[in-house]
């Protein structure tokens, strides 16, 4: 159908890809542990939206053009690395800043104002974490074509279908990560010291991922 071939192998490969730790997994787990289930869900939604962008780009050839250009690869690589390092540093030091600001900013009237904006930021951060990862670009352009017949008359639609399956499986895995990681948050309860330590660990991991991405080759 639509020229899609070896579909069971595609599903198996996507499953293995999802369970392999990477920047997306680290971001979802970190946000879920630091801020709870809602933050994890928004982060996962942002990442899966980024996968939708890659799917559309792959279907219409934009991903192939980026992968073929050394300049484009380098620009995306360093943009993604800088963004990951920025998120890591911000996460690592955010707990200290919040703990210092808490005595002055403790007010019941502030709570409703601060809910929507952080969640929106988490969505955008998850989105850009995925979109600015050049390894995701190369994955889509090298992986998806293996499951579309060269004789297919509907290549774009085949890519979109495979992308839809990829995103659907990713959503299920991300929801599982959020559920597990947010359980850690509930168990931590009133232990801000432990959560601050976890923020720093996850932040340091992001810095490490950013540095690794900056030194990656095509």
Partner residues linked to 4 by β-bridges: 148
Pick from 37, 3, 1: nearest CA to 148: 3
pLDDT at 112: 38
pTM: 0.69
- Report the pLDDT value the prediction gives residue 161, as an integer from 0 to 100: 92
pLDDT for residue 104: 47
Q: Which two tokens stand for residue 107?
A: 């007010």
Q: In the prediction, which pLDDT does 116 show?
A: 39
For the stretch 181-194, what's the b/e string if a residue is b when 16 or more beta carbons lie within 10 angstroms of its beta carbon? bbeebeeeeeeeee
Predicted pLDDT at 167: 93
| Bridge partner residues of 148 (DSSP) | 4
pLDDT of amino acid 168: 94
pLDDT value of residue 140: 82
Q: What is the pLDDT of residue 77?
A: 74
pLDDT of residue 105: 46
Burial zone of 129 (CB within 10 Å; 0-12 exposed, 13-18 middle, 19+ buried): buried
Nearest-angstrom CA–CA distance, 115 and 201: 25
Percent helix / strand / coil, the chain, rounded to 5: 85, 0, 15
Three-class SS state of 199: helix
- Along the 218 residues of the chain, how does pLDDT read in single tens digits? 678 888 999 999 889 888 887 778 888 888 887 778 888 899 999 999 999 998 888 888 777 776 666 776 777 778 777 877 877 787 777 655 555 544 444 444 443 333 334 788 889 988 988 888 777 877 887 788 888 887 778 888 888 999 999 999 999 999 999 998 887 766 665 555 656 676 677 677 778 777 876 776 65
């Amino acid at each position: 159908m639509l020229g899609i071939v070896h579909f069971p192998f595609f599903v198996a490969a996507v499953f293995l890809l999802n369970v392999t730790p990477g920047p997306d997994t680290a971001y979802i787990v970190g946000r879920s542990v630091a801020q709870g289930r809602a933050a994890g869900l928004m982060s996962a939604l942002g990442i899966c939206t980024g996968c939708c962008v890659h799917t559309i780009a792959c279907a219409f050839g934009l991903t192939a053009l980026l992968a073929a250009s050394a300049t484009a690869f380098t620009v995306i690589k360093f943009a993604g690395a800088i963004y990951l390092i920025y998120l890591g540093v911000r996460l690592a030091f955010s707990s200290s800043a919040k703990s210092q600001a808490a005595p002055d900013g403790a007010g019941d009237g502030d709570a409703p104002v601060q809910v929507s904006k952080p969640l929106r930021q988490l969505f955008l951060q998850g989105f850009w974490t995925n979109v600015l990862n050049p390894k995701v670009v190369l994955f889509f352009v090298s992986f998806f074509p293996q499951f579309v017949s060269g004789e297919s008359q509907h290549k774009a639609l085949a890519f979109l279908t495979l992308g839809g399956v990829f995103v659907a499986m990713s959503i299920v895995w991300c929801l599982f990560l959020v559920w597990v990681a947010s359980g850690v948050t509930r168990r931590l309860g009133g232990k801000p010291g432990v959560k601050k330590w976890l923020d720093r660990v996850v932040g340091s991991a992001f810095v490490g991922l950013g540095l690794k991405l900056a030194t990656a080759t095509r």
